[in-house]
Structure formats: C-alpha cells, structure tokens
Structure 1
C-alpha cells in the first residue's frame, strides 16, 4: 500500500497541476484543502482577504479534514506562495493535525517569490514531522514541471514509496 498523501490548496490551478503530476509520479493519494468559506473569484478581493489573514495570523475554517491522515507516512504538501508564506488554508491544515513520526516535503507555486518562508513555516506548524527540502515552481511553468518534480522526488527519495 502506498502511504504517501499529496495535500494541496490551489487558487488559480497551478498548485493543483503540480499535485496531479506528483500523484502520477508517486501513486499517492490526493486531498485538496478547501476553506469553508471559499476565496473570492475576483483576484483583488482574494488578495485583500488573504493579506488580512496572513497579517493577522488568522486561518480560515476548513471545509473538511483529512480523516485518515494517520495511515500515511509521507505528506507532500502543496501551497501557493502568498505573501512570502503558506496560504492560510494550508497553515490551518498543518495546525490542525499531528505529524509525529511523519515526513513532510512541501512544494509551492509562485509568481516570482520562490519559497519565501514556506519551509521554515512548515517546520514550525508541522509539529513532530521530519521536514525535507522543498520544491518551488513558477506558476506559469506548473503544467510542464515534470523534470523538476522528478529531480526533487529523487533527491528526497520519495519515488513510489
């Protein structure tokens, strides 16, 4: 049984594209993080809400929780880089689960900000987890990130666990 869970939040679809490629490469299970109150489809309104959440350190309630997280050893955690850190729903996911004995490897999509503080924030919020190196993919390159994804998986020994 594959014990890899690919958990992601995606606003514009870029992070979803990377998550789906990771699923094909690893055979892991996909789980999409969604806020109970969806982010506005209007980009400027979304930015205003997300900026306020990040600034205030307030995380949204999640629409659902991954009920069987205990059955996975490895979590591939996907987020867009929002204001140099995790998207608030991803922070909420990390804060609401126990990762003792698990391995987390984060991946992010971005519009020029790279990883920002994402890896460090995963270490802070992913209590008890071993955190591996992270992958960053420029948003417009997400659909064709296969080679970068394969190299990252190999470097972290994450192929078909």
Structure 2
C-alpha cells in the first residue's frame, strides 16, 4: 500500500496560545514530517500560486475573504496522479472550522473514489471543526477515516498521538 501525505501549512507569523510568533516551518508541516517518518509516505505540500501573507493579520483577512467567497485559489502544482496511492493523509490548519481554501482546490482537482483519506489538522482550540464533513462532501467516493486534531502549541510533542492514530 502506497500513501501520500498532502498538506497545507503556513510559516511566518502564527498564533500560539494568545500570542503571535514567527516560525520558519508551519505546525502542520511539522506534523506531516513526523507522519512521514512514521509511515514512509511521500510528502506533497499544497501551495497556492499566490501565497497568503507572512503577516498574521493580513493572512487572516486574505483567508477569511477566500472562505467568504468560496474561492478556489489556484495551486502552484499538483501531484501527477493519485493512482499509485491507496491512502492520502490530508493535513491542514483549522481555519474557521474547516480547511483553508487551497485544500478545497486540491480535493476538487482529483477523483478520490476508492481512496482512503485520513485527515489531520493543527489548531489552537477548535479541533477538527466540520472539516471531516467537508471532506466527505467533496470526496463522496472516498473512505474518510476519523481525523486527528493536534494543538499547534503541542505539535513538537505530537509523535505519540500520530503514532497511535496511524497504527505504527
């Protein structure tokens, strides 16, 4: 069984337990890298062609506007095919109860029929929100398994939770 870890993550100024802090690697990317070590799956970073700002407040305004409009931002690239993969681990930060809009773009680009999607998200208190339901709606032919919510401030210590969740 081959697996892909497709994830959206944002470095720069981020929110951590009530304070802003600049980070060189986003929380979801850190979790995705841990998952790669545990599973051996390939990594694919979902990146919008026009990235969100490194400034937290500006990013929030851009991302909220995208969500309000139901935007599907163009992505820099896509995997050539999902054919080789049985399982797709899908990682993202929780943006207002769901996934960032570039993840919607990614999901709508492919037919996930017959695939297993295992969602994981980073958050600062809102968990998975309704993102798993959104994935099920966008990928009706996929088997969407229970997701894992990782608090962003605790991502450095998330390996045991990731290990238990992915069965390693």
Range of TM-score over shorter length: over 0.9
Question: Could you tell me which residue of structure 2 aligns to residue 94 of structure 1?
Answer: 107
Question: Could you tell me which residue of structure 2 aligns to residue 30 of structure 1?
Answer: 43
1:98 touches 1:127 (CA, 8 Å); kept in 2? no
Deviation readout 1:17-76 (Å, 9 max, x if unpaired): 110011000010000000000111111110001001111111200010111211101000
Q: 1:39 aligns with which of 15, 31, 52?
A: 52
Question: Could you tell me which residue of structure 2 aligns to residue 16 of structure 1?
Answer: 29
Q: 2:116 aligns with which of 93, 97, 103?
A: 103
User: Where in structure 1 are there 5+ consecutive unaligned residues?
Assistant: none
**Aligned structure 1 segments of 4 or more residues deviating by more than 2 angstroms:** none
User: Where in structure 2 are there 5+ consecutive unaligned residues?
Assistant: 12-25
Higher strand share: 2
CA distance in 1, matches of 2:154, 2:133: 24
Stretch moving more, 52-61 or 129-138: 52-61
| Residue correspondences, number | 154
Question: Could you tell me which residue of structure 2 aligns to residue 5 of structure 1?
Answer: 4
Report the 3-state secondary structure (helix = DSSP H, G, I; strand = E; otherwise coil) of the residue aligned with 2:83.
helix
Question: Could you tell me which residue of structure 1 aligns to residue 153 of structure 2?
Answer: 140
Q: CA deviation at 1:127?
A: 3.2
Q: CA deviation at 1:94?
A: 0.4
Q: CA deviation at 1:144?
A: 1.2
2:127 aligned with 1:114:
yes
CA distance in 2, matches of 1:64, 1:127: 23
CA distance in 1, matches of 2:104, 2:66: 11
How high is the TM-score relative to the length of structure 1?
0.93
How high is the TM-score relative to the length of structure 2?
0.89
- RMSD of aligned residue pairs (Cα, Å): 1.0
